[in-house]
Structure 1
Amino acid sequence: MDQGAGGGRATAPDVDMQRPSDARVYDLLLGGKDNFEVDRQLAQQVIEVAPELPALVRANRRWLAEVVERLLREAAVLQFLDLGSGLPTADNTHEIAARVSSAATVVYLDKDPTVIRHGQALLADDRHSFFAAGDLTDPATVLADPVVTGALDLGRPVAVLQCLVLHHVRDTKQARAIVDGYLDALPSGSYLALTHPCNPRDGSRRAEYATGVEEKLRGGFRAVTFRTPDEIASLFEGLELLEPGLVGLDEWWERPEADPFEASNLIVAGLARKP
């Protein structure tokens, strides 16, 4: 793809309106309007199994905002690579970062054609935020992309954001290789911020709940794979996990919103530093 400076212009592929898009479904759960009937049908099927899902998706966005602010204020990290960024919504990563530091730089990456078009339009005139069209499962290509190398100094710490994306990678070893592909190429002091759907697969009611959501999502995305706590923890091997550790989203706040126990740990989150 032809990509250049000034927001990372790229030619987006055609939008497929006959198949659901994970970016559009996620946007729909956040209350967005950039979706089609096929996306609405899948979202409705999932909500019937898990009516708490829109609240969990909003909590995921809240977590992202707090992590970006924390990294800027406490770790002085000024570079962010937002992988599988999804459609622009309220409190985008670059907007969160700009509230804390005008020196922060954000590069978004996504392969969804709807996201590419919206991302390019949003960032066309932004001097600190850029958009690269690419596949996050290929770290070497992403890190060699001229938009990425032009915007980020990869010799200095970078925060890699992977929020609700790796469950689209079926094989856990491949998911781990993806994480390693980014962090191994970045210097000490870089960070991984990750959220992932969790299924304990232990026969509990929580496991049954997670399995129901997982199966509905597979109706639109066949590769969707929720992971056990141990499998998700393996994605952080070699990194220093920060407090409060790898926990459910609601455990990141002192007064979590009331939530049925089946849903309380459906999405787990972790923030870690490369030593």
Structure 2
Amino acid sequence: MDEGADGGREIAPDVDMQHPSDARVYDLLLGGKDNFEADRQLVHQVLTVAPELPEALQANRRWLAEVVERLLREAAVLQFLDLGSGLPTADNTHEIAARVSPKATVVYLDKDPTVIRHGQALLADDRRSFFAAGDLTDPAAVLADPIVTGALDLSCPVAVLQCLVLHHIRETKVARQIVDGYLEALPSGSYLAITHPCNPRDGSRQAEFATEVEEKLRVGFRGVTFRTPAEIASLFEGLELLEPGLVSLGEWWPSPAAELGGASRLILAGLARKP
């Protein structure tokens, strides 16, 4: 590893410090510290139009925890494939799962060098959780990865988690093909959990707000694409959408005490079962 110019840290040679990383930006918005100047500049720009975005991302983490616990308790699903997992944070998927069942198995997958390094180090001594280095846009390669096939029994139900990752796929048709690539290879009783930024593109104030956030993110990630509710719903086609359906994070918890700011309405969340 080489001595880095950012805070005196040692930086691995395959880590790109000149351009923002979606994993590092997400982690920074959650209060993480593994970031560089390019990440901080982008976050500053995004927060100028959506200062409550960190709150929405915390809600996204809360949603993921509730989904994992719900699947373990109500559906008896014991296998989880967390695609585009990002940097380790508080309450990681395997930690959530372990609180409910010691038999739960979690496989994380990411292609970001920083994420891979942190993930592999975190799970080095964990016998129920694993980290695979790979690109989620290639389902066949992911499902053939020796780490995935060694940890998961793909003849039994698997919960596929794709939380805030598919907006990096510009074409909805391609995003749908990626989702299908996983679900078609898995048996009945498998589940799909998705959170995805939404832009209704209907001329409303919410659409204007979503467009502002989208444009700021595209400064660092040119392929970022927020989708309409109908486009996001198409990702669940052929699956049984569970209650409360495809709704915003702000609607997932109906209690007034759990109301979230406007940024939470940017993110739609859905959980579905393969019949």
Q: Distance in 2 between matches of 1:253 and 1:205?
A: 23
SS at match of 1:271: strand
Match of 1:46 in 2: 46
1:69-101, CA deviations, whole angstroms, 9 ceiling, x for partnerless residues?
A: 000000000000000000000000000000000
**Is the CA contact (8 Å cut-off) linking 2:59 and 2:264 kept in structure 1?**
no
Match of 1:8 in 2: none
Match of 2:223 in 1: 223
1:249 counterpart = 2:256: no
Q: What is the Cα-based RMSD across aligned positions, in Å?
A: 1.1
**Is the CA contact (8 Å cut-off) linking 1:13 and 1:113 kept in structure 2?**
no
Q: Larger deviation: 249-258 or 56-65?
A: 249-258
Q: Where in structure 1 do 4 or more consecutive aligned residues deviate above 2 Å?
A: 256-260
SS at match of 2:44: helix
Displacement, 1:264?
4.1
Match of 1:25 in 2: 25
Counterparts in 2 of 1:119-268, with a 5 A limit?
A: 119-255=119-255, 257-260=258-261, 262-268=262-268
- Relative to structure 1, the CA distance from residue 34 to residue 273 in structure 2 (aligned partners, 3 Å threshold; closer, same or farther) is same
Match of 1:273 in 2: 273
Displacement, 1:52?
1.1
The gaps in structure 2 that reach 5 residues or longer are 1-11
Q: Number of residues paired by the alignment? A: 263
1:37 counterpart = 2:37: yes
| Paired AA for residue 213 in structure 2 | V
1:14-59, CA deviations, whole angstroms, 9 ceiling, x for partnerless residues?
A: 1000000000000001101011111011011001110110000000
Displacement, 1:13?
7.2
Match of 1:6 in 2: none
Normalised by the length of structure 2, the TM-score is 0.94
Percent identity for Structure 1 against Structure 2: 85
SS at match of 1:189: coil
Q: Distance in 1 between matches of 2:197 and 2:26?
A: 13
Match of 2:6 in 1: none
Displacement, 1:258?
4.0
SS at match of 1:265: helix
Normalised by the length of structure 1, the TM-score is 0.94
Q: Distance in 2 between matches of 1:187 and 1:85?
A: 23
Match of 2:4 in 1: none
Displacement, 1:245?
0.0
Displacement, 1:230?
0.2
**Is the CA contact (8 Å cut-off) linking 2:109 and 2:132 kept in structure 1?**
yes
1:163-186, CA deviations, whole angstroms, 9 ceiling, x for partnerless residues?
A: 000000000000000000000000
| Paired AA for residue 240 in structure 2 | E
Q: Larger deviation: 248-257 or 15-24?
A: 248-257
1:195-228, CA deviations, whole angstroms, 9 ceiling, x for partnerless residues?
A: 0000000000000000000000000000000000
Match of 2:56 in 1: 56
Match of 2:8 in 1: none
